[in-house]
Structure 1
Amino acid sequence: MAGQMQYGGQSSGQPIFILREGTQRTRGRDAQSNNIMAGKAVANAVRTTLGPKGMDKMLVDSMGDVVITNDGATILREMDIEHPAAKMIVEVAKTQDDEVGDGTTTAAVLAGELLKKAEEMIEQEIHPTIIASGYRMAAEKASEILNSIASDITISDRDQLLKIAETAMTGKGAEASKMELAEIVVDAATNVVEEGDGKYVDMDNIKVEKKVGGRIDDSELIQGMLIDKERVHSNMPKKVEGAKIALINEAIELKEAETETEISITSPDQLQSFLDQEEKMIRDMVQKVIDSGANVVFCQKGIDDMAQHFLAKAGIYAVRRVKKSDMEKLALATGGRLITNLEEISENDLGKAEFVEEKKVGGDEMTFITGCDNPKAVSILLRGGTEHVVDNVERALHDALRVVGVAIEDEKLVAGGGSPEVELAFKLHDYSTSLSGREQLSVKAFAEAIEVVPRTLAENAGLDPIDTLMDLRAHHEKGEVNAGLDVYSGNVINMWDKSVFEPLRVKTQAINAAAEAAVMILRIDDVIASSGGGSEASGGMGGMPQM
C-alpha cells in the first residue's frame, strides 16, 4: 500500500506492517506542500472580506440556516473545515477573536501569506527550520517596532474611544449607524470597567438582547438590565418605582418529596386540611418575601400558581425562570445578593433600582430594570429590520465592544488603514540586512508577507495594489509613520488625522498568532492519517490528497 510504513524482515523477506491497514501517510515535500496549500486556501476564503470595502459571505449549513457576515472568525467557524492543517488557520482566527475581538481576517490572511512565502523559500532549498527561526525573530522584532510607534490613550479620551469603535464597525453590517452604535459601545464599556492592578473590562457584564423590528438606530443602552421575560401574573403592577429586588435561586413552590411517599386520606375533612396545609406553606413562603420589604422578585426557578396569586395580591412584580447568567448580572447591576434559602431572606439582601417595568418591544413583553445606583452590568437592546440584519449588527457590536475594552485595558493605540503594516515591512527590511545567515531571507520574506494587508485593502477597494503599495512605501520612506490608505478616495493620507485608530494588541496578536501557526505548519514533514475502520482508506482524512 502506498505510504504504508513497513519493515522488511531479514529472514523471510516478509514485510512487517507497523501501521493499521488503510492508514495514509504523506511525507517530506509532499506533506509540506499539501499543508501549505490547505492553509493558503483558507486564507483566500476570507481575503475578500478585509477592510471597509470588503464583501460579505453567505454561509448555509446542512439545516439550511443562513449566516451573512464578513467577520473572519465567524466565516471560518461556520465553514466546517476538515483538513487538519487548515484547522490551524481557523484556530488563529478563533484566538484572535477571543483575545481582541477584531482583526480575525487580518490574522488568517497573514498566516496564509507567510505560508506562501515559505513555500517559495522551500523551493529554493532553504530548510523549514531556518524559515521558522527567521519568522520567530521577525515576529519579535515586529512587536518591538509596533510598541515604538504606538500612542497612549486613557479612559477619559472619549473621542478617541468613539473613533476606535467606529473603525471596528466600518465595513460591517452596522456601518450606516456606526456613530450611534459607537456611543452605545463606549458608554457600555466604560460602565463595566473594573479597577484592580490595572483596568479590566469584563464583556460578560454587558448583555446584548436582540429584537427584530424597528431600525438599527433604535438600538439603545439600558443603564441596568433587560430581561426577555414578562411578569408572571396579569394582576401584578406593570411598573414599580423605587424597586427593592429579591433575587431568589430556589423555587417558590412546594418541594416534591425525594423518596416515594404515599399519603392515605380517608375522609373529606382530611383532604381539606391537607390542601389548607399546602396553601399555608406557600402563603408562608410568600410572606417571607413580603416581610423582607421586596416589591420585585426575580426567580431562577418556578413560581407556583397559588404563589403568583399571593404575590399579585401583595402588589409584587415577579418574573420566573430567569437564566442563571442574567441573575448574576442582576446582582451586579442592582447590588443585590442571590438568595438560595427563603428562610434567611432579609432587607440587606435586596437590590435597588429606580424603576422595574414591563414594556412591549417588537411584539414581545420585556422587563426593564433601570436607574441602578452603580450599574456594573449593563444591557444593549439591538434592533434591526430582519433576523439577519440584527445578527450581523451583533457581530459588529461584539468586535467594537472588545476593541474598546482592549484599548481601555492596554492604553495603547496605533493608526489603521494599513499604515502599521507598511511601517513594519519597511523597518523589517532594514532589520533583515543587519542579519547574517539564511535567516536574513526568512525575515525579508516576513516583511513582504506583512504587506499583504495594505495590498488586500487596495484590491478590495478596486484600486491597483502595486501602485498603491509603491505610493505607501514612498510616504513611509519619508518618515510618515501614520501614512495609510484611504479606501474611499484611493489616496495615501495620515490615518491619525483621519481618526482611524486600532488598539495595539489587535496588531501584535494578529502577527504573533499568524507567525506561530505558520511555523507550526512548516515544521510538519510527515502526516500519518488513521482511517476509521481499516478498509475505508479513502475516508481517512478529509481533504487530504490521496497517495
Structure 2
Amino acid sequence: MPNGGSRPIFILSEDTERERGRDAQRSNIQAAKAIGNAVSSTLGPKGMDKMLVDSMGDVVITNDGVTILDEMDVDHPAAKMIIEVAETQEDEVGDGTTTAVIMAAELLEEAEELLERGIHPTVIASGFSKAASKSEEFLEAMAEEISIDDEEMLTRVATTSMTGKRVEANVDVLADLAFRAVKQVAEESDGYSIDLDNVKVETREGGSVNDSSLIDGMLVDEDRDHPGMPRRVEDAKIALLNVAMEIKETETDSEISVTSPDALQKFKDYEEGELREMVDKVKEAGANVVLSQKDIDDIAQHFLAKKDIFAISSMSSSDIEKLARATGGTVVTSLDDISSGDLGKAGLVEERKISGEEMTFIENCENPKAVSVLIRGGTEHIVEEAERSLIDAMSVVSRSIESGKTVAGGGASEIELAMKVADFSDSVSGKEALAVRAFADAIESIPRILAENAGMDPIDTIVELRSKHEGNGKTWGIDAYSGEVTDMLDGGIIEPLPIKTQAVSSASEAAVMVLRIDDVIAAKGEEGGEGPPAGGPGGAPGGMPGGMSGGM
C-alpha cells in the first residue's frame, strides 16, 4: 500500500494467495455444496452406494455418510469444515451424518442467493442462528416419549437407522441385537446413561449375518496359553490380574555367580518354587480361570495346566476392564491380596474355533454390564457394513433411551419443522426474516431429496406433505418403498430426537462460520509450481481439486 506517495509496503509473502469479499464467500460456498452433493444421493432407504478406493487399492462400498466423508481426500478448508459437521454428528449421536451435511450445504446455497440480493452476511448469520434456536424448541414440542422397556418402539428405532443399507435383509436380527446389547449395559441413575464402549463388537467372515449373536459376557480374540489347559470350564471362577506371574527382575543390574551344577539347580528350583507359589495362591482363592493383562511365565503356565486352570495372558487393558464389568470381578494388582471375593463369575468359559481362528467365549454371566456381539457375514464387505450398521443402530437406541424422546422419520419431522420455522419468520423483523425463511427452505430440502432418491416427484410430494401437515398430520412422511406419503408412526419409521436437534445445531453453526469468512489467505505449498495447494483459494473452480467445477 502507498507510503507517503512512494513505494508500496508488502506485508505478505509474494507467493501467498489471497481471496477476499464475494470471491472468498463464493469459493467457500461452492466447496460446501460440492460436499453436500457428494452424499445427497445416499440419503434414505433408496439411496445409492458409493465405492471408495484408497491409494492401496482397498475398496469400501457403503452409503454411510461419515464413512464416505472419512475416506475422501479433501483439501479445501471450507469443505473440511462441512466434513467436521458429519464427525460431530457421529460423535454426539452416532447417526444422521448425511442429513447434517446436506442441511449445512443447503443453508449455504440459500445464503448465496441472499448474498446476491445484497443482504449482508452478518444479517444472514443472525437469522440462521435465531431459526436454529427456535427449531430446537419446535422439535422438542413435536417429540414423543419412549422408555427403555418399550422394546417394540426401540427395535423400530434401530430398524429405521439401518433401512436402505446393504444389510437390510438382515435388519431384524441386527435390530434385536442392538436393542438387547444397549439395554444390558444401560445404567440407571437419574435417568439412564449408556456407554457403548461396554459393548465389544467382534467380526468373523463365514456364515451369514443372521448367524450373528449376542454374548452375555465377553468374547476375547485369544486362545488359552497352554495346550494342556482345559478347553472348556463350566461354573467359571475368574481371577482378573494386572500383575505378572513371573520372576521379577531386580531394579538394579546384578550378576549371580554359579560355581557348580548343584548351585544352578538350586537357583532353578527357587524360581520354580516362586512360580508354583503364585499358582497356588490363585488356586487357593478358588479360581479355575486366569485372565491376565500381564505376562505369565512358561513354567507358571505349566503349573496352571496341571491344576486344570484355563489361562490367557497379555490381554489388553480395555478387555480386562470390560471383563470386570461383565463378570463382577475385581482386577487384582497383587497376588498376595487375592481372595475368593475378587473372583468374577461366568457360567461357561470355552475356547472355540470360529472361521478357522480360536476365540474364547466368557458367557452366561449374571447381569453383565459389558457384553459382546459377534458379527458374521459371507464376505469382508458384508461383515464391515453389518458392523457399521449395528454400531449406528446401537447409537440411536442408546440416544433414544437417554433422551426419552423420539420423532417421526421419513422426512416427517423436517417438513413439520420447515413449516413452523416459515411461520416463525413472519414474526421476525427486517431482512433477518428472509434468512429465517431461507432456513426453512433448507430444512425442507431433506424430504425433497428423500423423494428424489425414491424416484418420486419431489414437487408433488412436498405439496402433499404440506397438505397433510396443515391438517394436523405431523407424523406423515415419505414411504420410499411404496412411493407414497404415509403416517410414519404407523409404519414404524422412528428416529431419536437428538439426531434432529444435533443436525440442525451443527449444520447452522457450520453455515454461520463459513458465512462470516470474507478473507482467505493461503500460503503456497512447499512442492510444485504456481498457486495454492490443491483445492485452496485461487485454485480450481469451486475450490475443488482437479478443476472440477463444484463437483467431486
Please give the per-residue CA displacement for 1:286-306, whole angstroms capped at 9, x wherever unaligned. Answer: 122112111000011222111
> In the alignment, is the contact (CA less than 8 A) between 1:24 and 1:540 conserved in 2?
no
Deviation at 1:422, TM superposition (A): 0.8
Match in the other structure for 1:153:
146
The offset of 1:174, in angstroms, is: 1.9
- Root-mean-square deviation over aligned CA pairs: 1.5
Match of residue 530, structure 1, among 523, 528, 541: 523
Closer/same/farther in 2, CA of residues 414 and 234 from structure 1, 3 Å limit: same
Q: Which of 3, 11, 34 is residue 9 of structure 1 equivalent to?
A: 3
Q: Please, which moves more after superposition, 254-263 or 288-297?
A: 254-263
Q: Which residue in 1 is equivalent to 2:30?
A: 37
Pairing partner for 2:282 from 289, 298, 307: 289
Structure 1 counterpart SS, 2:491: coil
| Correspondence 1:180 to 2:173 | yes
Q: How is 1:101-250 mapped onto 2 (pairs within 5 angstroms)?
A: 101-250=94-243
Give the equivalent residue in structure 2 for 1:3: none
Q: What residue in structure 2 maps to residue 382 of structure 1?
A: 375
* Paired residue secondary structure (1:298): strand
Q: Deviation string for 1:317-352 (max 9, x for gaps)?
A: 001121111110000011111112222212111111
Contact 1:463–1:490 (CA under 8 A) maintained in structure 2: yes
Alpha-carbon shift at residue 17 of structure 1 (Å): 1.8
Q: Is the 8 A contact 1:23 1:537 kept in 2?
A: no
User: The residue matched to 2:240 in structure 1 has which SS?
Assistant: strand
Q: Distance in 2 between matches of 1:502 and 1:178?
A: 16
Question: 2: distance between equivalents of 1:17 and 1:317?
Answer: 74
Instruction: Confirm or deny: 8 A CA contact 1:23 1:534 kept in the other structure.
Output: no
Query: Could you say which residue in structure 2 is the equivalent of 1:305?
Result: 298
Does residue 1:365 correspond to 2:355, yes or no? no
Deviation at 1:282, TM superposition (A): 1.4
Residue identity opposite 1:236 in structure 2: M
* Distance apart, 1:260 and its partner CA: 2.8
- Mean Cα deviation higher: 52-61 or 213-222: 52-61
Matched, 1:325 2:311: no
Deviation of 1:540 after TM superposition, in Å, equals 4.2
1:412 is aligned to 2:405: yes
Q: Secondary structure at the match of 1:16?
A: coil
CA contact (8 A) 1:529 1:541 kept: no
Instruction: Assess if the C-alpha contact under 8 Å between 2:17 and 2:537 holds in 1.
Output: no
Pairing partner for 1:447 from 440, 444, 451: 440
TM-superposed deviation, 1:544: 2.9
Q: For this pair of structures, how many residues does the alignment match?
A: 540
Name the CA distance, whole Å, in 1 between partners of 2:366 and 2:488: 40
- Contact kept, 8 Å, 1:22 with 1:535, in 2: the verdict is no
Q: In 1, Cα distance between the equivalents of 2:520 and 2:157? A: 43
**Would the aligned equivalents of 1:92 and 1:517 in 2 still touch at CA under 8 Å?**
yes
Q: Tell me, yes or no, if the aligned pair for 2:220 and 2:360 is still in contact at 8 Å.
A: yes
* Aligned residue number for residue 501 of structure 2: 508
Query: 1:264 deviation in Å?
Result: 2.0
Measure how far apart 1:538 and its partner are: 2.7
Distance in 1 (alpha carbons) for counterparts of 2:237 and 2:528: 68
Task: Give identity over the alignment, percent.
Answer: 58
The whole-number CA distance in structure 2 between the counterparts of 1:133 and 1:467 is: 32
Q: Indicate yes or no: 2:90 matched with 1:75.
A: no
Contact 1:24/1:537, CA 8 A, preserved across alignment = no
SS at match of 1:538: coil
| Structure 1: runs of 5 or more not aligned | 1-6
More divergent stretch after superposition (156-165 vs 345-354): 345-354
The separation in 2 between residues aligned to 1:284 and 1:23, in whole angstroms, is: 71
Shift of 1:272: 1.5
Q: Report if the CA contact (8 A) 1:456-1:465 is conserved.
A: yes
> 1:59 corresponds to which residue?
52
Partner SS for 2:230: coil
Q: 1:255 to 1:467 in 2, by over 3 A?
A: same
| 1:308 shift after superposition | 0.9
Letter in 2 for 1:442: A
Who is 1:46 aligned against? 39
Q: Output one character per residue of 1:141-174: Cα deviation in whole Å (capped at 9) or x when no partner.
A: 1111111111111111111001001001111122
User: 3-state SS of the aligned residue for 1:230?
Assistant: coil
Distance (Å, rounded) in 2 between the aligned partners of 1:99 and 1:462: 32
Q: Distance in 1 between matches of 2:2 and 2:254?
A: 72
1:351 to 337, 344, 350: 344
Deviation by residue 1:488-521 (Cα, 9 ceiling, x = unmatched): 1111111111111001111111011101100000
Distance in 2, matches of 1:34 and 1:525, equals 10
Question: Shift of the alpha carbon at 1:227?
Answer: 0.6
Match of 2:322, as an amino acid? K
State the distance in 1 between where 2:527 and 2:322 align: 52
For residues 52 and 405 of structure 1, what CA distance do their matches in structure 2 show?
Answer: 22
Match of 1:262 among 250, 255, 267: 255
CA distance in 2, matches of 1:132, 1:379: 46
8 Å CA contact retained: 2:52, 2:71? yes
Task: Indicate if the aligned counterparts of 1:110 and 1:514 stay in contact, CA closer than 8 A.
Answer: yes
Q: Give the alignment's TM-score, normalised by structure 2.
A: 0.95
Shift of 1:472: 1.2
Task: Quote the residue 1:21 is aligned against.
Answer: 14
- Asked whether the equivalents of residues 19 and 537 of structure 2 are also in contact (C-alpha less than 8 Å), the reply is no
Equivalent pair of 2:224/2:310 in contact (CA under 8 Å): yes
Q: Are residues 1:456 and 2:449 paired?
A: yes
TM-score after normalising by structure 1:
0.96
Shift of 1:534: 10
Cα distance change of structure 1 residues 144 and 250 upon mapping to structure 2, 3 Å threshold: same
- 1:385: how far off? 0.7
Q: 1:22–1:534: 8 Å Cα contact kept in structure 2?
A: no
Q: How far, CA to CA, are the matches of 1:419 and 1:396 in structure 2?
A: 23
